Amino acid sequence: MIIKLLPLQGVGVVWVPFTQGAALGYGVLPLRGVPLTTFDTPSSQPNKLSIKPPPLNYTKNLKPLNNMRIKKILLVVALLLAGLQTTTAQCKYRNTAVNPGEFLSYNLYFNWQFVWVKAGTASMSVVKSNYKGQPALRMALITRTSETLDKMFVMRDTLLCYNTLDLEPLYYRKGAREGKRYTVDEAFYSYHNNKQHIKLHRQKNSGEHVWKEFNRTACAYDMMSIFLRARSFKPEHWKKGNRINIPITDGAKIINATLEYKGKTTVKGDNGVKYRCLQLSYIEKDENKNKEKEIVRFYVTDDAHHIPVRLDMFLKLGVAKAFLSGTKGVK
């Protein structure tokens, strides 16, 4: 049970920025992301990718967290703070919040039978790099369960993205080892004639490779790119109850999520610091029941950096939370 921090979809947290503008009739602004460490380099021949997880010893009985929910956390933070363009694929956005060399760390917790248990840790970092010869920001998010949780359910997730210095998505990869399963998701972005082309690749646990392609006039983002962008949002004109829809890809398809601004509050991080935060909710709709459900609520600093401080994830088995434990390189 772990959280992809901050980020939002497992348990982790982060945000993203955009201007969706008049087309949707709301004044929410964009966000930007967060960053990371290194480990994988995108394959020049992704269709030949063959990845096998290293062997692990684990206990197969308990699965304390619904990891699909946890992974939504990355999306959540980003989505809640984002406002995307809806006419042409103008995917660039000025970075005003993220500094190369930034490193954020988090503690993950789960409410197990009315007791809060530390479930693991997460870290996010951003460095200046290059992608296929062009300058880029490289952001990574790593989450892992604690030794105690490993005995019940092992989770080792690594997410990586490359974006231009103007935060335009270029490449995304998620390698997820969860219990006995190991999967890989990738997104390759290109831009032509004011349109965005996205090529998605998923390697299933069975080793099967699935490819899909989309051409869009409105920008779609992966959970990491959305984080980068969300950090540069401008919430001066936000009003409590404002909602926006944002296109997000999970590596297999493109979905629409709803974000709602809940107002401001004070949150204490695991580093002992109290932060004035913006409070946002990530909401999904159950089409079968025609009912909405809040999946994640996250809190980001009410300043120029919009750092994720806390994430509350509402899972089928209980509630999971992520708290900021340390920062480096934040200017």
The torsion angle over the Cα atoms of residues 5, 62, 151 and 208, rounded to 10 degrees, is -70
Write down the pLDDT at residue 287.
Answer: 62
* Residue 168: HSE in the Cβ half-sphere, 13 Å Cα cutoff: 18
Write down the pLDDT at residue 128.
Answer: 95
Q: pTM for the full model?
A: 0.69
241: left (phi over 0), alpha (psi -120 to 50) or beta: left
Rounded to whole angstroms, the Cα distance separating 34 from 308 reads 9
H-run or E-run covering 230: helix 223-230
H-run or E-run covering 270: none
Rounded to whole angstroms, the Cα distance separating 196 from 253 reads 15
Write down the pLDDT at residue 195.
Answer: 92
Q: Which of 312, 291, 298, 217 is nearest to 262 (CA)?
A: 298
Rounded to whole angstroms, the Cα distance separating 175 from 202 reads 10
Rounded to whole angstroms, the Cα distance separating 297 from 280 reads 6
Q: Which of 87, 123, 75 is nearest to 221 (CA)?
A: 75
Write down the pLDDT at residue 158.
Answer: 92
- Do residues 5 and 13 lie in contact, with contact meaning Cβ atoms separated by under 8 Å? yes
Write down the pLDDT at residue 187.
Answer: 95
Say which residues have a Cβ less than 8 Å from residue 284's Cβ, sequence separation at least 6. Answer: 257, 258, 292, 293, 295
Instruction: Going residue by residue through the chain, which has 331 residues, state the pLDDT in tens, using 9 for 90 and above.
Output: 433 333 333 333 333 333 333 333 333 333 333 333 333 334 444 444 444 444 444 344 444 455 555 555 555 555 445 444 333 467 888 898 888 999 999 999 988 777 888 989 999 999 999 999 999 999 999 989 888 888 877 888 999 999 999 999 999 999 988 888 999 999 999 999 889 999 999 999 999 999 999 999 888 988 788 778 878 878 788 899 988 777 888 778 887 777 888 999 999 999 999 999 999 887 877 666 778 888 788 899 999 888 999 988 887 667 889 999 999 988 7
Token look-up 């039978």 returns 113
The torsion angle over the Cα atoms of residues 121, 297, 172 and 183, rounded to 10 degrees, is 60
Write down the pLDDT at residue 10.
Answer: 38
Write down the pLDDT at residue 215.
Answer: 93
Token look-up 């007791």 returns 115
Helix, strand, coil percent content, the chain, rounded in steps of 5: 10, 50, 45
Write down the pLDDT at residue 13.
Answer: 35
